[in-house]
């Protein structure tokens, strides 16, 4: 995916008024490429800079996670989306992997690296608080155990 | 010496801090998920309901029974838990919070990206998602990374038909859609002091379109006077000699009317390059440009004439609507052929009212022109109120006249 993918493109405003997460999964990335929705299970999404800009809608992060995506890799993320993704347990990897579409990606965010086609790239580690939240599987689980 | 963000968050740029928030709010769009997350956390408690607000502004009144049922649940919760509740017709969350609620030096968190609007008061105001907000309901605090700041240094005053919105779109274009990611914008310089509060709100509102975490003005005489009218006594914030990671200068006398062309807020053209582009709809309102001064300016231009294209005007709040009724602005708008909506976000996000059809073109005073945002296949051009008014009268993009 290109740069500046806004959260309207991830999940359009017309699908937000529901608690039924399957609706978001069915329509994720519809306005970018309607064929993507069924192909995200087990995938690592590779995108350009500033992924997740725009609206604070957390449904965007939930839709990607529940569609089965393992992680999103981009050179940078918009800050609200970054918090939202970690809070719902979706790993984000700050790295430019453009041009590696179709390759196998492995990563370890605790150690701070991502590997593709035999090359290992360093990744800026998450803050201690965010690592804790992600390790718990998201902020809801974090507070279930810490609340 | 500290930036305003460092001073309010009490930490150095780059540092992670846990801070109690002074005010936190959600709307009908994000509140449902917040409530769901709060329940899932096993939380049976609200830390302090007195500083928590729920606004119904995104789909008001409800457009169908699914929305109505979701709003019903959230309304019951708000009333039963003693959160401060603003039902349909009260207005847009950011606008109501700007009407004498948010004060300088406060930390304000909203479950909406345009929460940055409230930095206009010298508050640290930023958007979060629903799950972050649920934790704030439970604990009264959240974590922040203290941002680096960019100084937006303003000199001179706006001239001709240029408005604060033109300056806002111009600085977004200069910085780009991620030019201030994770950072805060501080509007400084002698030009900043002369800008009225409504215009400060417009300028801070667009900060998130550069990726910024906050957009801020220092509280000064304008702030003190504005809040005094709402019954608050506040002190000015004297800027310190601080370090900005970047400074950008804008000579306000050089700002001209511009339009952001779809689908990017940072892609602008002078209005003069787009004149004659046919329009299907003009939309005036939102947290960017739905204040009383905006409606009054629009009315002054269209008064006594008829709009040539369907024109939707949505006051940003009940207070705005009431003032427009008292002063006759509303009558001028209706007589000119405008449709008036319930105070709220209206058509901006394409979920309700003013939705565009395939191939339709809208000139809007809002803040986002992303693909399909107002309806599948519709295109959104963003402009000032004066440009929207001149264009509504002609049914095509038209340069505003100098008033």
Reported as a single tens digit per residue, the pLDDT across B38-96 is 999 987 788 888 999 999 999 999 999 999 999 999 999 998 888 899 999 999 999 99
What pLDDT, on the 0 to 100 scale, is given for residue A147? 64
Mean pLDDT score of chain A: 94
Query: Bigger pLDDT: A99 or B70?
Result: B70
Residue A12 lies in a domain: yes
Please state the three-class secondary structure of chain A as a single string: CCCCCEHHHHCCHHHCCCCCHHHHHHHCCCCCCCCCHHHCCCCEEECCCCECECCCCCHHHHHHHHCCCCEEEECCECHHHHHHHHHCCCCEEECCCCCCCCCCEEEECCCCEEEECCEEEECCCCCHHHHHHHHCCCHHHHHHHHC
Q: DSSP letters of B34-84? A: HHHHHHHTT----S-GGGEEEE--SSSS-SSHHHHHHHHHHHHHHHHTT-E
Handedness of CA B261, B264, B267, B270 (dihedral sign): positive
Distance CA A40, CA A45 (A): 8
Residues in chain A: 147
**B370, B374, B375, B377: best to mutate for the A interface, most A CBs within 10 A:** B370
Residue A124: inside a domain: yes
Q: In this predicted structure, what is the pLDDT of residue A100? A: 82
Q: Which residues from chain A sit within 8 angstroms of residue B264, using beta carbons?
A: 4
Stretch A82-108: mean pLDDT? 93
**Burial of residue A46, with CB atoms counted within 10 A of its CB: 0-12 exposed, 13-18 middle, 19 or more buried:** buried
What count of other Cβ atoms lies within 10 Å of the Cβ of residue B339? 15
Across the interface, do B37 and A139 touch by the CB < 8 Å criterion?
A: yes
Is B178–A57 a contact, with Cβ atoms under 8 angstroms apart? no
User: Are the Cβ atoms of B134 and A129 closer than 8 angstroms?
Assistant: no
Average pLDDT over residues A94-112: 89
- Pairs of CB atoms within 8 A across A/B: 125
Per-residue pLDDT, averaged over B379-390, amounts to: 98
Round the CA-based radius of gyration of chain B to a whole number and report it. Answer: 20
Give residue B45's pLDDT: 83
Q: How far is A117 from chain B (nearest CA, A)?
A: 29
pTM: 0.96
Nearest CA in chain B to A4: B177
Q: What ipTM is given for this predicted complex?
A: 0.94
Range of the domain at A109: 7-146
pLDDT tens figures, B304-357: 999 999 999 999 999 999 999 999 999 999 999 999 999 999 899 997 889 999
Q: Which residues, in sequence order, are CB contacts of B121 under 8 Å at separation 6+?
A: B98, B102, B103, B104, B106, B217, B219, B223, B227
Q: Are A52 and A77 in contact (CB under 8 A)?
A: yes
Compute the nearest-CA separation of B263 from chain A (Å): 10
Nearest CA in chain B to A78: B211
Average pLDDT over residues A44-64: 96
Residue A66 lies in a domain: yes
Residue of A nearest to B126 (CA): A80
B195/B28 Cα distance (integer angstroms): 32
Percentage above 70 pLDDT, chain B: 100
Say if the Cβ atoms of A140 and B131 lie within 8 Å: yes
Average pLDDT over all residues of chain B: 96
Other CB atoms within a 10 A radius of the CB of residue B170 amount to: 20
Q: What is the CA radius of gyration of chain A?
A: 15
Which residues from B are below 8 Å from A125, CB to CB?
A: none
Number of domains making up chain A? 1
B187-224 pLDDT per residue, tens: 999 999 999 999 999 999 999 999 999 999 999 999 99
Find the CB nearest B351 among A6, A17, A78.
A17
Average pLDDT value for residue range A10-23: 93
CATH number of the structural domain spanning residue A32 = 3.20.19.10
- φ, ψ (nearest 5 deg) of residue A136: -75, -10
Residue B232: the pLDDT is 98
Is residue A2, in this structure, part of any structural domain at all?
A: no
Closest-CA distance of chain A to residue B36, Å: 9
pLDDT score, position A25: 96
Which domains are present in chain B? 1-256 (3.30.499.10), 259-394 (3.30.499.10)
d(CA B264, CA A30): 18
Residue with tokens 């002074």: B22
Terminus-to-terminus CA distance in chain B, angstroms?
Answer: 43
Q: What is the pLDDT of residue B196?
A: 98
Residue A102 has pLDDT above 90, yes or no: no
DSSP state of B189: S
With pLDDT > 90 as the criterion, what percentage of chain B qualifies?
95
CB contact under 8 A, B129 and A18: no
């Amino acid at each position: 995916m290109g740069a500046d993918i806004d959260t309207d493109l991830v999940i359009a405003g017309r699908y937000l008024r529901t608690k039924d997460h399957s609706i978001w999964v069915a329509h994720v990335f519809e306005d970018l490429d309607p064929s993507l929705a069924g192909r995200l299970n087990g995938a690592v999404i590779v995108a350009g800079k500033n992924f997740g800009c725009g609206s604070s809608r957390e449904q965007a992060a939930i839709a990607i996670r529940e569609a089965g995506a393992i992680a999103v890799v981009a050179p940078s993320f918009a800050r609200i989306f970054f918090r939202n993704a970690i809070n719902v347990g979706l790993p984000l990897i700050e790295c430019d992997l453009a041009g590696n579409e179709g390759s196998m990606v492995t990563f370890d965010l605790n150690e701070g690296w991502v590997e593709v086609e035999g090359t290992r790239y360093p990744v800026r580690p998450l803050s201690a608080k965010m690592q804790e939240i992600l390790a718990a599987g998201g902020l809801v689980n974090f507070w279930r155990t810490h609340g | 010496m500290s930036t305003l963000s460092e001073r309010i968050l009490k930490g150095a740029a780059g540092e992670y801090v846990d801070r109690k928030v002074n005010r936190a709010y959600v709307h009908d769009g994000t509140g449902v998920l917040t409530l769901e997350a709060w329940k899932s956390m096993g939380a049976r408690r609200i830390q302090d309901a007195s500083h928590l607000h729920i606004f119904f502004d995104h789909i008001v009144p409800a457009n169908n029974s699914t929305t109505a049922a979701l709003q019903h649940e959230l309304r019951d919760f708000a009333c039963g838990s003693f959160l401060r509740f603003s039902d349909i017709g009260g207005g847009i969350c950011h606008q109501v919070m700007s009407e004498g609620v948010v004060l300088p030096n406060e930390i304000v968190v909203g479950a909406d990206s345009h929460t940055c609007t409230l930095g206009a008061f010298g508050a640290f105001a930023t958007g979060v998602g629903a799950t972050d907000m649920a934790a704030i309901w439970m604990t009264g605090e959240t974590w922040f990374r203290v941002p680096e700041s960019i100084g937006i240094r303003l000199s001179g005053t706006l001239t001709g038909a240029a408005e604060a919105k033109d300056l806002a779109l111009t600085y977004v274009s200069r910085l780009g859609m991620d030019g201030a990611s994770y950072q805060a914008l501080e509007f400084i310089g002698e030009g900043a002091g002369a800008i009225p509060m409504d215009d400060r709100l417009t300028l801070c509102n667009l900060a998130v379109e550069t990726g910024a975490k906050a957009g801020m003005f220092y509280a000064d005489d304008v702030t003190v006077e504005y809040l005094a009218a709402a019954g608050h006594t506040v002190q000015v914030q004297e800027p310190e000699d601080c370090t900005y990671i970047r400074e950008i200068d804008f000579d306000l006398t050089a700002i001209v009317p511009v339009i952001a062309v779809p689908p990017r807020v940072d892609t602008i053209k002078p209005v003069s390059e787009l004149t004659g582009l046919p329009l299907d709809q003009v939309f005036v309102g939102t947290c960017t440009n739905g204040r009383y001064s905006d409606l009054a300016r629009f009315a002054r231009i269209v008064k006594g004439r008829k709009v040539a294209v369907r024109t939707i005007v949505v006051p940003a709040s009940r207070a705005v609507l009431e003032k427009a009724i008292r002063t006759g602005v509303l009558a001028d708008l209706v007589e000119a052929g405008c449709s008036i909506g319930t105070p709220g976000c209206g058509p901006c996000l394409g979920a309700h009212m003013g939705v565009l059809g395939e191939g339709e073109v809208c000139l809007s005073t809002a803040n986002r022109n992303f693909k399909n945002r107002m309806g599948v296949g519709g295109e959104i051009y963003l402009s000032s109120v004066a440009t929207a008014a001149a264009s509504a009268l002609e049914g095509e993009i038209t340069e505003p006249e100098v008033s």
